[in-house]
């Protein structure tokens, strides 16, 4: 067996099912060929029958005429029978019967050793080999058998010719050569059929693939459009595209739908450089004329000789709106609507980065409402909420166009300013902010009086880091609270040093309390008029491991707390 699946000897398919398929495919052609063979055989032998009258009066006449009649009759009978054949085997059986009958009859005819007898001896096997469409094994059996009959008939009467060895050799060579021709013909026909079948199958698969791709293209739920790359003309769109852009989408131009010219040029550049784009955000006009946000994914695709662009469009308008709502909820205070600590931190980092690149200044005005807890305790949390809303509105109205106000949490607000201010100007601005918060707030028929304390810190004068700058403003606010509240104070480096000392004292006291190093020292109380002891007072003393006994005046700062908590994480940690 060769690589093409054919027998080397015979040229037929080794796979029986494939051979059957080949024969079935050529069955109609085989029937036409058989009918033609039988018809020509009947006509020719009828004509030869007329020429055989020249043997009239000779013994051969009574051999030739019946033989010719037998061939004519067999040809006509086979012509009728083969028309009823429905399978290859039936048609082959009729053809084999005709070949056997013809070979026997012609073997009788060549016994006359006429001038044409030798020619017929060589011609009839050739016809069987080359014309009769039988299976290879029958072609060889009938070809060899016909040659043997022809030789036997030719030699049957009269003396042996002197050319007998040569005649036998010629017949052997003829059968061998004709067998090779049959093998070669079988191979060519089957290879041609296999190639035709493969081509047909490839075409069918291509058509099926194109049909499937077309169905998928039309069924994809997102808009898909095909545009010419050079002209920007829409060539076609799927059903989703027609619903999104309207039924007339194929008559539109890219500029009719993709609104931003700069975006169009960017898309064209990306397609030129990379042959594709992925998730490119743009604005388009839909079929109703509304502007929608979309993501475009596109790739170039040759259609004929002209390059085209296939693009998929995903509408993200609702998603962006949801993201915007989520972003607003995540970055703004639900009660006052002001930016919250998260958004303020982002803005502060951005302003400090701008300052580092271009120069300038950043100022922080940290504001805390005084006695806010008492408002909640005495008037209720709804009054406290109303106060916070009023404070937010007043601060928003009081700041400049370049300022940024946020609520950090609780009763704490902060204003970020990019103005370069002197200490006096900053204090004046802080006093104005406090003043707007001093105005009474009306709620449920009650007047709520309010005051505020404010701490100021500036970059780059005090610090360039966002965390440290917030600590500076917090320390200034702490000092304003400690000094009586309702005032604005600018941060000074000494505040950080004082706070560091207080933190150190607090940490030392925490250890002393744990180790029971805080001792009571009792001091007697003496009546001056009698000199008698009338009582004792207990004084706290710290037995320090290195400094010995320390009086309370040296560590009372560790027990001092601000008059009103501000909600700042920094001050809370210091108080602890």
- pLDDT tens for each residue of 282-293: 888 888 888 899
All residues at 6 or more sequence positions from 563 whose CB lies less than 8 Å from its CB, including other chains: 481, 482, 485
- Rounded distance, CA 469 to CA 479, Å? 16
pLDDT of residue 140: 92
124 or 162, which is more confident?
124
pLDDT of residue 118: 79
Tens-digit pLDDT profile for residues 247-268: 877 777 888 788 787 888 888 8
Local confidence band at 508 (pLDDT 50, 70, 90 cut-offs)? confident
pLDDT of residue 158: 66
Local confidence band at 60 (pLDDT 50, 70, 90 cut-offs)? low
Per-residue DSSP letters for 68-135? Answer: HHHHHHHHHHHHHHHTT--SHHHHHHHHHHHHHHHHHHHHHHGGG--TTHHHHHHHHHHHHHHT----
Local confidence band at 574 (pLDDT 50, 70, 90 cut-offs)? very low
- Rounded distance, CA 247 to CA 241, Å? 8
- Rounded distance, CA 406 to CA 166, Å? 120
pLDDT of residue 560: 58
Half-sphere exposure of 205 (CA within 13 A, CB side): 6
3-state class of 523 per DSSP?
strand
3-state class of 492 per DSSP?
coil
**What would the mean pLDDT of 173-196 be, rounded to a whole number?**
90
Local confidence band at 477 (pLDDT 50, 70, 90 cut-offs)? very high
φ and ψ of 303, to 5 deg: -120, 105
End-to-end Cα, the chain, rounded Å: 95
Secondary structure element (H or E) that encloses residue 197, with its range = helix 164-219
500 or 176, which is more confident?
176
- Rounded distance, CA 575 to CA 102, Å? 127
pLDDT of residue 558: 61
- Rounded distance, CA 84 to CA 469, Å? 107
Question: Do 366 and 453 contact (CB within 8 A), yes or no?
Answer: no
All residues at 6 or more sequence positions from 470 whose CB lies less than 8 Å from its CB, including other chains: 348, 364, 366, 457, 570
Tens-digit pLDDT profile for residues 511-568: 778 878 888 888 888 888 888 888 888 888 888 877 788 787 666 666 655 433 333 3
Tens-digit pLDDT profile for residues 421-455: 888 899 999 999 999 999 888 888 888 888 999 99
**What would the mean pLDDT of 213-234 be, rounded to a whole number?**
85
- Rounded distance, CA 505 to CA 503, Å? 5
Closest Cα partner for 298 from 348, 258, 347, 340?
258
- Rounded distance, CA 445 to CA 403, Å? 33
The pairing of beta strand 362-370 with beta strand 451-459: antiparallel
Question: Do 269 and 291 contact (CB within 8 A), yes or no?
Answer: no
- Rounded distance, CA 367 to CA 384, Å? 16
Question: Do 82 and 112 contact (CB within 8 A), yes or no?
Answer: no
Tokens 């009258």 appear where? Answer: 53
3-state class of 15 per DSSP?
coil
Closest Cα partner for 68 from 119, 40, 102?
102
Mean pLDDT of the chain: 85
**What would the mean pLDDT of 135-143 be, rounded to a whole number?**
91
Local confidence band at 58 (pLDDT 50, 70, 90 cut-offs)? low
**What would the mean pLDDT of 320-346 be, rounded to a whole number?**
92
Count of all residues that appear for the chain in the document = 576
pLDDT of residue 241: 87
Long-range contacts of 243-246 (CB under 8 A, 24+ apart): 243/287, 244/286, 244/287, 244/313, 244/315, 245/286, 245/287, 246/286, 246/287
- In the chain, % of residues over pLDDT 70: 93
Q: How many CB atoms lie within 10 A of CB 384?
A: 23
Identify any residues that bridge with 294 across adjacent strands, giving them in sequence order: 282, 315
All residues at 6 or more sequence positions from 171 whose CB lies less than 8 Å from its CB, including other chains: 121, 122, 125, 147, 150, 151
């Amino acid at each position: 067996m060769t690589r093409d699946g054919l027998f080397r000897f015979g040229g037929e398919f080794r796979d029986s099912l494939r051979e059957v398929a080949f024969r079935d495919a050529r069955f109609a052609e085989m029937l036409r060929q058989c009918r033609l063979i039988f018809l020509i055989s009947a006509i020719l032998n009828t004509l030869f029958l007329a020429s055989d009258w020249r043997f009239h009066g000779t013994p051969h006449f009574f051999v030739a005429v019946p033989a010719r009649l037998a061939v004519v009759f067999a040809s006509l009978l086979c012509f009728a029978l083969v028309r009823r054949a429905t399978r290859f085997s039936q048609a082959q059986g009729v053809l084999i019967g005709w070949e056997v009958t013809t070979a026997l009859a012609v073997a009788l005819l060549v016994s006359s050793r006429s001038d044409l007898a030798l020619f017929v001896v060589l011609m009839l096997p050739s016809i069987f080999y080359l014309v009769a469409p039988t299976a290879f094994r029958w072609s060889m059996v009938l070809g060899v058998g016909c040659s043997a009959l022809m030789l036997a008939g030719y030699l049957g009467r009269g003396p042996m010719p002197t050319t007998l060895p040569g005649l036998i050799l010629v017949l052997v060579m003829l059968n061998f050569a004709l067998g090779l021709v049959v093998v070669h013909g079988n191979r060519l026909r089957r290879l041609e059929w296999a190639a035709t079948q493969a081509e047909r199958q490839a075409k069918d698969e291509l058509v099926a693939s194109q049909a499937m791709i077309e169905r998928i293209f039309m069924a994809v739920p997102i808009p898909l459009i095909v545009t010419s790359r050079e002209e920007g003309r829409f060539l076609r769109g799927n059903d989703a595209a027609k619903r999104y852009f309207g039924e007339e989408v194929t008559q539109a131009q890219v500029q009719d739908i993709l609104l931003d010219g700069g975006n169009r040029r960017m898309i064209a550049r990306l397609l030129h450089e990379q042959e594709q784009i992925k998730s490119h955000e743009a604005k388009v006009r839909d079929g109703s004329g509304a502007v929608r946000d979309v993501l475009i994914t596109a790739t170039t695709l040759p259609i004929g000789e002209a390059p085209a662009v296939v693009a998929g469009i995903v509408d993200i308008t609702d998603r962006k709106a949801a993201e915007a709502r989520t972003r607003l909820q995540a970055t703004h205070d639900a009660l006052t609507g002001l930016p919250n600590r998260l958004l303020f931190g982002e803005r502060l980092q951005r302003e400090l980065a701008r300052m580092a690149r271009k120069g300038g200044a950043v100022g922080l005005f940290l504001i805390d409402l005084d006695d806010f807890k008492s408002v909640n305790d005495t008037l209720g949390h709804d009054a406290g909420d109303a106060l916070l809303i009023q404070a937010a509105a007043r601060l928003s109205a009081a700041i400049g166009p370049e300022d940024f106000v946020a609520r950090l949490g609780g009763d704490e607000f902060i204003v970020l300013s990019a103005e370069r201010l002197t200490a006096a100007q900053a204090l004046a601005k802080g006093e104005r902010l406090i003043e707007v918060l001093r105005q009474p707030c009306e709620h449920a028929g009650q007047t709520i009086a309010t005051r505020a304390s404010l701490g100021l810190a500036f970059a780059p004068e005090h610090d360039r880091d966002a965390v440290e700058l917030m600590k500076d403003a917090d320390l200034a606010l702490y000092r304003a609270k400690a000094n009586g509240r309702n005032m604005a104070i600018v941060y000074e480096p000494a505040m950080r040093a004082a706070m560091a000392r207080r933190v150190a004292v607090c940490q030392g006291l925490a250890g002393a309390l744990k180790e029971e190093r805080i001792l009571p020292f009792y001091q007697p109380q003496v009546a001056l008029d009698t000199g008698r002891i009338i009582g004792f007072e207990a004084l706290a003393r710290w037995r320090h491991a290195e400094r010995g006994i320390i009086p309370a005046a040296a560590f009372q700062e560790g027990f001092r707390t601000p008059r009103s908590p501000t909600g700042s994480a920094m001050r809370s940690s210091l108080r602890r």
